[in-house]
Amino acid sequence: MTSSVYPAAAAATAETEAVKTPKKAALASWIGSAVEYYDFFIYGTAAALIFPKLFFSADNPQAAAFASFATFGVAYITRPLGAVALGHVGDRFGRKKVLTFTLLLMGLSTFMIGCLPTYGQVGILSPILLVIARLLQGISAAGEQAGANSMTLEHAPANRRAFFTSFTLSGTQAGLILATLVFLPVSAMPEAQMLSWGWRIPFFLSALVVAVGFWVRRTLPETPVFEKEQ
């Protein structure tokens, strides 16, 4: 009986002594999720308003609209792959590294969309590059959701885990709202300006919000549970 009690007591002591920052972890998860899903959702708005006219042939508007919405859906193909691969990396090398990687990957792929040439400039290469960028967004979003939940859960006190972990999903909804608000002034622009350069602004703004999220996450310590396992 003594041999079973002392290891349990030692584990409890180690967990108590480990540094937990539940508020900072919840804030980092909220900001990171908001940034990630801002990038993820502005694509959906652009797929409805912009991409059929710029990234596909104008000969068949209905086919262009269908193809544009299809590119929105391809991100969900890579999400299972991203969740498995990045979840494994998070277990091996830490939550913080994975969440930093997903944030930078989402920011890079979103900024890349804002820089893409149109169908009229490079032809079929334009939608191909668009699909590649969307696939990268899907990988990033998959790693973000699972990693942020794990990070917040492992920092949270035992009696408030549900409360602190809820900030991840709250950030996701905030990203959706932010993406909608950003596109409101863009959609109000004259069509010629919106289609020439205005639509790129929400994608370029991703660089600013990613920088804020990266700074917050970079200062967040690794979870005590992971450090204990190491």
Query: CA 17, CA 142: separation in Å to the nearest integer?
Result: 32
Query: CA 224, CA 150: separation in Å to the nearest integer?
Result: 12
Among the listed residues 209, 214, 205, 211, the one whose alpha carbon sits nearest the alpha carbon of residue 114: 205
Enter the tokens of residue 53: 């006219």
pLDDT tens track for 119-157:
999 999 999 999 999 999 999 888 887 788 888 888 888
Look at residue 20 and tell me whether its pLDDT is greater than 90: no
Look at residue 15 and tell me whether its pLDDT is greater than 80: no
pLDDT tens track for 59-78:
888 999 999 999 988 988 88
Among the listed residues 211, 178, 216, the one whose alpha carbon sits nearest the alpha carbon of residue 111: 211
Among the listed residues 112, 85, 80, the one whose alpha carbon sits nearest the alpha carbon of residue 98: 85
Among the listed residues 152, 47, 163, the one whose alpha carbon sits nearest the alpha carbon of residue 96: 152
Query: CA 47, CA 148: separation in Å to the nearest integer?
Result: 27
Q: Give 223's pLDDT tier (boundaries 50, 70, 90).
A: confident
% residues pLDDT > 70 (the chain): 92
**The CATH number, out of the four listed (1.20.1250.20, 1.10.357.10, 3.40.50.620, 1.10.10.10), of the domain defined by the range 21-229:** 1.20.1250.20
For residue 93, how far is the Cα from the chain centroid? Answer: 19
Angle at 123 between CA 120 and CA 126, to 5 degrees: 95
Predicted TM-score (pTM) of this structure = 0.81
Query: CA 96, CA 94: separation in Å to the nearest integer?
Result: 6
pLDDT tens track for 174-203:
999 999 999 899 989 999 999 999 999 999
Q: DSSP character for 58?
A: T
The reported pLDDT for the residue numbered 18 is: 55
DSSP assignment string, 104-153: HHHHHHHHHHHHPPPHHHHTTHHHHHHHHHHHHHHHHHHHHHHHHHHHHH
Query: CA 229, CA 223: separation in Å to the nearest integer?
Result: 10
The reported pLDDT for the residue numbered 51 is: 93
The reported pLDDT for the residue numbered 14 is: 46
The reported pLDDT for the residue numbered 225 is: 74
Q: Centre a 10 Å sphere on the Cβ of residue 10 and count the other Cβ atoms it contains.
A: 10
- Assign residue 94 a region: left if phi > 0, alpha if psi is -120 to 50, beta otherwise? left
Sorted by where each begins, the domain ranges of the chain are: 21-229
